[in-house]
Amino acid sequence: RYIDVMDGLFVPNRTNGIKMFKDNIRLENKPFDVHLMVEDPLRELSNYIGASIITFHIETLINSKTMQLDMDQFYDISREIKRMGAKVGIAIKPNTTVSFLRNLLNKVDLVLVMTVEPGFGGQKLIESTLNKIEKVREMGFEGMLEVDGGITPENALSVIQKGANVIVAGTSLFGADDVYDAAWTIKQK
């Protein structure tokens, strides 16, 4: 299970992530992956106790003046996620360079490569982002490498071949005539 949380600030859209999380956390005893597309991840964390993985965006850590990562902020957020019993994930948008990940890869359990601009469903996968998946693996990351955005039965195999081992597919599943058939097709890749 996967949920996107949007605050209307980090991305233009907004979701009622807390309600969706609370409505779904009780349904099954399966991993729950929460993707925070929010300006202040630390402030939002306590709403997602019970999540298995909590992913926040690296862009929230980048000082716009110095273009340096705020490592104190990273440690504060990741310490709180671990205290909650969840795994730590870091997400990167299509136009952010993967070099920002270099000092974080050995400190996170999951890297989420966004293959579309976050905040809007139904976008087409940006082909140039596939190189980011490869680069993350070349940088030595051996953990969960998740890809989200524009995943379809037609491109799922190339995403996996680049190094992804977790795929998020929204529109291609929920827009299909048969959700289960679409999911099965992607899973066979």
Residues forming beta bridges with residue 146, ordered by sequence position: 112, 166
Whole-angstrom Cα distance, residue 48 to residue 53? 10
CA–centroid distance for 81 within its chain: 15
Amino acid at position 35, single letter? H
- Give catalytic status of residue 109 as yes or no: no
> Tokens representing 155?
């491109």
- Residue from 141, 134, 99 nearest 115 by CA: 134
> Tokens representing 142?
């051996």
- Residue 118 is classified by DSSP as T
The length of the chain in residues reads: 189
Gyration radius of the chain over CA positions = 16
Q: Give the angle 166-57-93 at the CA atoms, nearest 5°.
A: 75
Which residue out of 33, 148, 177, 181 is catalytically annotated? 148
CB 133 within 8 A of CB 164: yes
Which residue out of 4, 7, 33, 109 is catalytically annotated? 4
CB 96 within 8 A of CB 129: no
- Give catalytic status of residue 148 as yes or no: yes
Q: Return the active site residues.
A: 4, 148
